[in-house]
Amino acid sequence: MDAIYSEYIDLLKSPKEAMQRLCMKFDIYWSESIFDSLDFEDDTISAVNQYISKINKKTYFGKTYDNSLIEIEQQKAWRHSVRDSDGDSVPEEIQQKWGYGFNPEDYAEFESRYAFWTNDENGFPCTTVNEISIVKALVLAEWRVGKEAKGGAGFDRAVKSYNDLLASGSFKPAQQKDNSILSGQTIGELIDLWEENDPVEEEITEPNNYLIKQISIWYYGHMCKTLNIDNPLRDLYEEEMDKYRVKHPEFEESDDEDILKHIIGQAPNDGEDA
């Protein structure tokens, strides 16, 4: 597919049009927003593989290129309807959502930007009223920046307002690097994520006996522990479990000050005078 993609780029002179043509050829769902999110500077994975991996998520399960055509035509119909009509024909709920007094083209742009920011692929699905309010304000701020960039005197002020909203919604790249993995995930989901992406590697010194050892310890040994059967398999299980148990510190020979320091999170200093 990479070779075909390269041929389409040479033919169409546009990576985006080439990817869309590739999707049409193989009946793959096409999304312009997903294409815009690809990292073309990543040398470890091609643009085609990036796109395919993103499109295989649950959000797009079962969708084909026909779904893309339907969505494209719906967007065109919406834009044509608001472009060829006056403001009163814009749905009332849209005007209530963004406020009254904007041009039909502006409402169409608001809806398009809002769909982009709240798309699951972009990582900001809104689930609370506060998140929805921040994204709406962010869309309006983007629109103002675009207006001021065409010659307005308040460009710097509009950019500052936009950056402030990015920070309040934790949408800045630095914040996303720190928070995107942890946000909205339970401890169990995080453990599963870490084990999937960065598992604890175990050194296998005897490959032939490895499987036998694992079954003996974690199946038979665990069963013996559960049934309170005292035998060597249980001892092997206990020895293996000791590697993962958290041992509490012993304070038999420590004074009250050392114990207090441990409780409040200060490591005792053996050289410190009482």
Query: Residue written as tokens 């035998």?
Result: 231
pLDDT of 106 > 60? The answer is yes
User: Is residue 117 within 8 Å of residue 138, measured between CB atoms?
Assistant: yes
The chain-wide mean pLDDT, for the chain, equals 75
Our measurement of the distance from residue 12's CA atom to the centroid of its chain's CA atoms, rounded to an integer in Å, reads 32
Residues 214-269: tens digit of each pLDDT: 899 999 999 999 999 999 999 999 998 988 887 776 666 667 777 667 666 554 45
User: Is residue 233 within 8 Å of residue 224, measured between CB atoms?
Assistant: yes
Which pair of tokens denotes residue 143? 């629109």
Query: Where residue 170 falls among pLDDT bands split at 50, 70, 90?
Result: low
Residues 190-202: tens digit of each pLDDT: 777 677 766 666 6
pTM over 0.75: no
**Alpha-helical regions (H) of the chain:** 2-12, 15-26, 32-36, 47-55, 65-83, 92-98, 104-118, 129-149, 155-168, 173-179, 187-197, 207-215, 222-226, 232-242, 256-263
Segment 134-149 mean pLDDT: 78
User: Is residue 67 within 8 Å of residue 29, measured between CB atoms?
Assistant: yes
